[in-house]
Amino acid sequence: MSPDELQALIEEATFDYVSGDPEAALEKLQRATDAAPDSFEAWHAVAEINLALRRLDEALKAGERAHALRKADPLVIATLSRTWMERGDKARAEQYGAMARVQGWKEELSSPPPPDAGGLR
């Protein structure tokens, strides 16, 4: 599967999900992860959809897979935090929540200020 085909499949899955058909979305994402097991975007989408469906074991597995692919991504870290909270593990949820905040701050600090900021961030 080419990168463009993979992206199109993920976008179709996203459309299915927002249109109210999470099972069709998950089927397409399964094809995406089978064809491209290193696709962060596909694994993160699987985690988010399963979390929304309260399929917490599946959400956790997919979220951990996405996190392994992109350790510093604050969105997947936040997904893991929300998943652990739903599972009732507040301590682990807070650990991931803190990691997400730190990564967000790192990204913010590494971004150049906008031209009209006068040197301020």
Query: What is the CB-side half-sphere exposure of residue 119 using CA atoms within 13 A?
Result: 0
For 53-67, how does the pLDDT look when each residue is reduced to its tens digit (9 = 90+)? 999 999 999 999 999
Chain-centroid distance of CA 60 in Å reads 11
pLDDT at residue 100, rounded to an integer: 77
DSSP string, 5-20: HHHHHHHHHHHHHHTT
pLDDT at residue 110, rounded to an integer: 78
Give helix then strand counts, H and E, for the chain. Answer: 6, 0
- Cα separation, 65 vs 97, in Å, equals 18
pTM: 0.81
pLDDT at residue 119, rounded to an integer: 52
Domains contained in the chain, CATH given: 3-113 (1.25.40.10)
For 73-118, how does the pLDDT look when each residue is reduced to its tens digit (9 = 90+)? 989 999 999 999 999 988 888 888 887 777 777 777 777 766 765 5
Work out the angle between the directed axes of helices 56-69 and 40-52 (0-180°, nearest 10): 160
- Cα separation, 60 vs 63, in Å, equals 5
Q: Is the pLDDT of residue 1 over 90?
A: no
For 8-47, how does the pLDDT look when each residue is reduced to its tens digit (9 = 90+)? 999 999 999 999 999 999 999 999 999 999 999 999 999 9
